[in-house]
Amino acid sequence: MWNWAQYSDPRLAFDMGVFIGQPVGLAAVTLDDTRVVFHPNQYVLTHTRWAWDAANGVLYPTAWRFTAQNGTWRLVVTMRALATEPLRGDLPWPLRDVIVYEQTAQYEGRLWTKGAAGQWVLARTFGGPGFKEFTAKRY
């Protein structure tokens, strides 16, 4: 099971891959030529709104808040689903009961860097359309 997200504009890219319930995953933001990587102990992904998929009998998220911080960078991103398409297929074991929720999403974010005096300095705000994916197990 996983969460996956991608956003990009001409100067900034954000990508995230989180395995649900596992201590693995990675998130990163690239600003111009600087790529900042956040490891699982440096970020939190919170689902803030849910919807019911009556056809498959499961809840899936429609809004999220992602926060990350390492010693030099701080990132806050909110994502809101614009459209959702649940995909089911004849997947092999162990994924045969997985529903993949493909979502276009609206992104809003802020990226800070640590200034010379140790204060947080806003490096960039960003926003626009992107992509989000969530998997759920059908019971």
Both tokens of residue 132?
């989000």
In the predicted model, is pLDDT for residue 95 greater than 90? no
How far apart are alpha carbons 136 and 61 in whole angstroms?
A: 10
Question: Pick from 82, 66, 90, 91: which is nearest to 131 by CA?
Answer: 82
Rounded average pLDDT over 121-129:
97
Handedness of CA 92, 95, 96, 98 (dihedral sign): negative
The domain segmentation of the chain, as residue ranges, is 2-137
Q: Quote the DSSP letter at residue 92.
A: P
Q: What is the pLDDT of residue 23?
A: 80
Per-residue pLDDT tens digits for 68-78: 999 999 999 99
Q: What is the pLDDT of residue 97?
A: 78
Whole-model pTM?
A: 0.91
Q: Does domain 2-137 have CATH number 2.40.370.10?
A: yes
25: left (phi over 0), alpha (psi -120 to 50) or beta: left
pLDDT above 90 covers a percentage of the chain that reads: 80
